[in-house]
Chain A
């Protein structure tokens, strides 16, 4: 059974903290993504990676960075968490011309 696993389901962090969201896939997919989901705004792409150590900015990269040191792991980093980064974060992976598989999501609250 294919899997994308996000490290936390729920997370509460304080303003100014550095936050790491981890995502691991077991399908040997080249492409991995981080999306943010907010009510009324749908899924917005933060960053994506099409290979190890490669990354591309998505639509809303400000305040975020990513790391992909190994093919199976794609980390999203909030350098200094702010309340406007309270959101649902979704990680996905896919192989070209096939469907994307999503993790269970991380609901992050920044207080």
Chain B
């Protein structure tokens, strides 16, 4: 069975702090895909990153970075020097290689306080 766990329900940080959002996944597939999405107050889910299971390289995009570790089945997301605009619900998701839907975690609500 496929499962994604985001243990942190809500996180609150002060602006300019760094924050890490945790994501742990379960799958028996050897080929799979991991995603992070951001859902701002407007409601639409915005794609942030996709990682396939064969690529364990960490990725950095501006203030965002992702750490993929197959050994611990984790795909954590770090925001450096957080800003108020980062306030949103963040979802981690797991996908398979065929025509199957994504499985989402329950999301982490991040509040960045000025």
Chain A residues packing against B (C-beta within 8 Å): 30-31, 33, 35, 40-43, 45, 48, 50-51, 58, 88, 90, 92, 94, 96-105, 107
Contact = CB atoms under 8 A, between A and B. Distances in A.
Contacts of A92: 45, 102
A104 B46 CA distance: 10
A90 B46 CA distance: 12
Interface of B: 9, 33, 35, 37, 42-47, 50, 52, 91, 93, 95, 97-99, 101-102, 104-107
A100 B102 contact: yes
B104 A104 contact: no
A48 B98 contact: no
Nearest to A105: B43
A43 B104 contact: yes
B97 A42 contact: no
B11 to A, nearest CB: 15
B97 A100 contact: no
Contact of A42 (B33, B50, B52, B106): B106
A51 B98 CA distance: 13
Contact of A97 (B9, B33, B44, B91): B33
Given A42-B104, A90-B45, 6 more contacts: A33-B101, A96-B97, A100-B47, A100-B95, A101-B47, A104-B44
A98 to B, nearest CB: 7
Nearest to B45: A102
Contact of A96 (B37, B47, B98, B107): B98
